[in-house]
Amino acid sequence: MNKVYFLMAIHNHQPVGNFDHVIEDSYKKSYLPFLEVLERHPKIKVGFHCSGILYDWFENNHPEYFNLISRLIRNNQLELLTGGYYEPILSMIPDRDKVEQIKLFTDFIRHKFGVAPKGIWLTERVWEPGFVPFLTKAKVSYTMVDEYHFNAAGVSSKNLSGYYITEDNNEALSIFPINKKLRYAIPFTPVKDVISIFKEVAEREKDAILVLGDDGEKFGSWPGTFHSVYEEGWLEEFFSELENNYDWLQMAHFSEVLENFQPSGRVYLPSSSYSEMMEWALPAEETYNYKKFRKSIKNSKEMEYGLKFITGGFWRNFLIKYPESNQMQKKASYISSKIPGTSSTTIKKELFMGECNCPYWHGVFGGLYLPHLRSANYEHLIKAEYMADLKRIKNKKQWLKRRILDFDCDGHNEILLENSKMNLYISPAYGGSIFELDLKGDKYFNLINTISRKLEGYHFQVKELAAADNTEVTSIHDKIKAKETGLDDYLHYDWYLRRSLLDHICALDTEIGNFKNSEHWELGDFIKEPYKFEVKKGKNYYRVQMRRLGNLWLTDRNIPWQITKTVDFFANSRDIIVKYEIVNLSSSDFEFIFGSEFNFSLITGDSPGKYIYSGNDLNRIASLSQAGTVNSLNRFGILDNDLGIQIDFSLKEEMNLWYFPIETVSQSENGFERVYQETCILINKQMHLQAGATANINFNFNLKTF
């Protein structure tokens, strides 16, 4: 029989900020047992990648794991792969960070294990042709991407039993195709069926090279796999069968293949990732339609051939699909620009941790929808910024900076205010809203790390699931399991971004219920329309004044309306003063509800240590996961004893308070789930404004840490 060479690469990763017990569970169910089984089979060779996040965790929690890895390297069973140390999507980080992240990781591996990795694991197998010069500069010789990438370039799957050369500006890189059949079969089908895949290739080709590159968590951590892979012995059997067939089915390291086999040719791959990722990158409606379309094509033998050319979306479009992702990514880029190349590794590591890919996108895993992951990235980004600024700003008491720039690259300028204790980011073009509020110095926390409720393609499945009362599981990529009943009742969608200092003019019959569900009648055009602005410098503060001449849209006419609001931001302070001036420019009197909306993300909502309070005695009103109203308040706030944060509002005149949680229905590896994102607060008042009259509303809010 012809020989087949099997190359196997395993990638292990956990997000920055993930819970210790989650990582510990994966260690016991996947990371440790996989290598223990591997050590019992000395002929088995594996390309091995753990993200720097995991190596840091192993060092602190299971240093003995390094000994196991070292033994397997000495036995020539493991070939280590490098990567961006904190697992970034390379296209998401500035060019200046790409090579540094890879070199940092390569140096770590060389120091810890005495080997210099030549191959790289590309995060989420996201590939762009422009990566090549950066990879070669970082001394990377090879990588691997999916068969899907090659198919999109017009390379038939029949020609993917080897490796190829790609280049950019005469910088060359070897690139291996990951076999689709193997990726879907291992470890989910019987071992004999996996061996049959190799036999089919051996019968028609000589010296074929087949590659599996996939997540290590599927060997024990994915739902149900610990039982099948270890308790039922799938992995033990698989390695034994590979050894039993060693006369024709041999394992090799990637570097060995590069030394002993010629490339199959040259290839130029388009920007891509694995097929599921390209589906998730599409807009929600198109995700659902795309999935249905591909399914319908599979039922047609004539059309099935063309499936490889239907490639779905483009990874960078997650920045369009999720403005919150774009905001965080632009934050990372902004902070990177503040950090000189000569800065310490400590500062750069904080930046690099904030570039970890997981909360920048969403697919079958929670990702962006997990507040603790977003919060962790922001924590490290803010800390990196603070550390870099400390080296540049000599007088901390006079630390008061103003920057006006197009921060989020949408064609409109934003205002960035910075002092020694916090950052305040304002978007005049989006309703004069506050879109970021960072604590720094003693804590590093973005209080407006919020997300709006969005339609997702799988929400159609949530509705179908509710109608059918069906909780059966198919696969991790097509799961229709709900972690609780009644999730369809939470499918409400926001027509605006959940920022702060948003100005509502509502009809008198508006109630908290329809406001909470974004089903109220919004009369004004002030929520996400542009305000004109100017920024004035005082002795120890900046004053941002924003004004919009807009309208109230009634059924029979429009009423001209004007809102002016000022925000005062002080040096060396966490006090913010807000002043509103509301003018009825029409010739008619008008009654309405005015509200100023704030949204605060404090990671969890149901902890007893987190609650909304009122009055000088901080009387508890409700938890952050509850909804309700309180009338006639002049002081209220949020107290978070878990994080040590207090947000305190003082109003010049009594107003009403509406509060409620923003909860999303998102997808995870364990099924559909409801997730608390933030608490919405509406400071509101019923008003009667006569023709030509002006109303003033003034309040301030203060941030405290303890």
Give the model confidence (pLDDT) of 344-360 as tens digits. 999 999 999 999 999 99
Q: What's the whole-number mean pLDDT along residues 119-143? A: 97
**Omega before 270 within 30 of 0, i.e. cis:** no
Write down the pLDDT at residue 363.
92
CATH of the domain at 183: 3.20.110.20
Going by pLDDT thresholds of 50, 70 and 90, the confidence category of residue 474 is very low
- DSSP label at residue 266: B
pLDDT surpasses 90 at 298: no
pLDDT at residue 240 tops 60: yes
**For residues 531 and 159, which has the higher predicted lDDT (pLDDT)?**
531
Q: Are 488 and 421 in contact (CB under 8 A)?
A: no
**What region, left, alpha or beta, does residue 353 occupy, with left being phi > 0 and alpha being psi -120 to 50 degrees?**
alpha
Report the run of H or E that residue 108 belongs to, with start and end: helix 95-113
Report the alpha-carbon distance of residue 11 to residue 82 in Å, rounded.
Answer: 11
Closest CA to 685 of 662, 654, 659, 706: 654
Q: Can the peptide bond before residue 15 be classed as cis, meaning omega within 30 degrees of 0? A: no
The answer to whether residue 397 sits within a structural domain is no
| SS3 assignment, position 561 | strand
Residue-level pLDDT at 301:
66
pLDDT value of residue 524: 97
The proportion of the chain whose per-residue pLDDT surpasses 90, expressed as a percent, equals 87
Active site residue 511: no
What is the side-by-side strand order in the sheet with 119-120? Answer: 119-120, 142-146, 171-178, 164-168
The answer to whether residue 75 is domain-embedded is yes
Which one of 24, 107, 215, 488 is the catalytic residue?
215
| Residue 447 counted as domain residue | no
Confidence band of 285 (pLDDT split at 50, 70, 90): confident
**The last residue of a domain, from among 253, 273, 293:** 273
Evaluate whether residue 539 is within a structural domain. Answer: yes
Which pLDDT score, from 0 to 100, does residue 55 have? 98
Classify the C-alpha dihedral 65-70-76-82 as positive or negative.
positive
pLDDT at 473: 35
How far is residue 336 CA from its own chain's centroid?
A: 18
Domain count of the fold of the chain? 2
pLDDT tens-digit map of 583-605: 999 999 999 999 999 999 999 99
pLDDT band at 310 (very low <50, low <70, confident <90, very high): confident
Measured between alpha carbons, how far is 676 from 605 in angstroms, rounded to an integer? 6
The pLDDT tens digits of the residues spanning 659-699 come to 999 999 999 887 899 999 999 999 999 999 999 999 999 99
* pLDDT score for 95: 93
**Cα–Cα distance list, 476 to 224, 484, 487, 668, 669 (Å):** 10, 18, 19, 9, 6
Candidates 647, 652, 659; CA nearest to 683 is 659
pLDDT in tens, 384-442: 999 999 999 988 778 999 999 999 999 999 999 999 999 999 999 999 999 999 999 99
Q: Cα–Cα distance between 688 and 399 in angstroms, integer?
A: 43
Residue 233 inside a domain? The answer is yes
Looking at residue 304, its pLDDT comes to 63
Decide which of 273, 290, 316 is a domain's last residue.
Answer: 273
Q: CB atoms < 10 A from the CB of 305, how many?
A: 11
For residues 559-580, average pLDDT: 97
SS3 8: strand
Last residue of a domain, one of 273, 308, 325: 273
Identified catalytic residue from 87, 124, 355, 379: 124
Beta strands 4-12; 249-251: pairing state:
parallel
Q: What is the pLDDT of residues 249-272, one digit of tens each?
A: 999 999 999 999 999 999 999 999
Residue 456 · residue 675 · CB < 8 Å = no
The share of the chain scoring above pLDDT 70, in percent, equals 97
The upper half-sphere exposure of residue 121, i.e. CA atoms within 13 Å in the direction of its Cβ, equals 28
Dihedral over alpha carbons 383, 384, 385, 391 (to 10 degrees): 110
CATH number at residue 676: 2.70.98.10
Which residues neighbour 558 within 8 Å (Cβ) at sequence distance 6 or greater?
551, 552
Task: List the helix and strand counts (H, then E) for the chain.
Answer: 21, 26
H or E element: which one contains 502?
strand 502-506
Tell whether 321 is covered by a domain. Answer: no
How many other C-beta atoms lie within 10 A of the C-beta of residue 258? 17
Under 8 Å between Cβ of 677 and 601: yes
| Residue 288 placed within a domain | no
Q: What is the pLDDT of residue 480?
A: 57
Sign, Cα dihedral of 121, 291, 674, 431: positive
The token pair at 691 is: 């023709």
124 among known catalytic residues: yes
Residue 285 has a CB neighbour count (10 Å cut-off) of 12
Instruction: Give the structural domain span for 691.
Output: 492-705
Q: Kindly state whether residue 114 falls inside one of the protein's structural domains.
A: yes
Give residue 469's pLDDT band: very low, low, confident or very high (50, 70, 90).
Answer: low
| Separation of alpha carbons 211 and 6, rounded Å | 6
Cα 392 to its chain centre, rounded Å, is 30
Q: What share of the chain is helix, strand, coil (3-state, %, to 5)?
A: 35, 30, 35
Across the chain, which distance is largest between two alpha carbons, in Å?
93
CA angle, 617 then 621 then 625, to 5° = 135
How far out from the chain centre does Cα 467 lie? 31
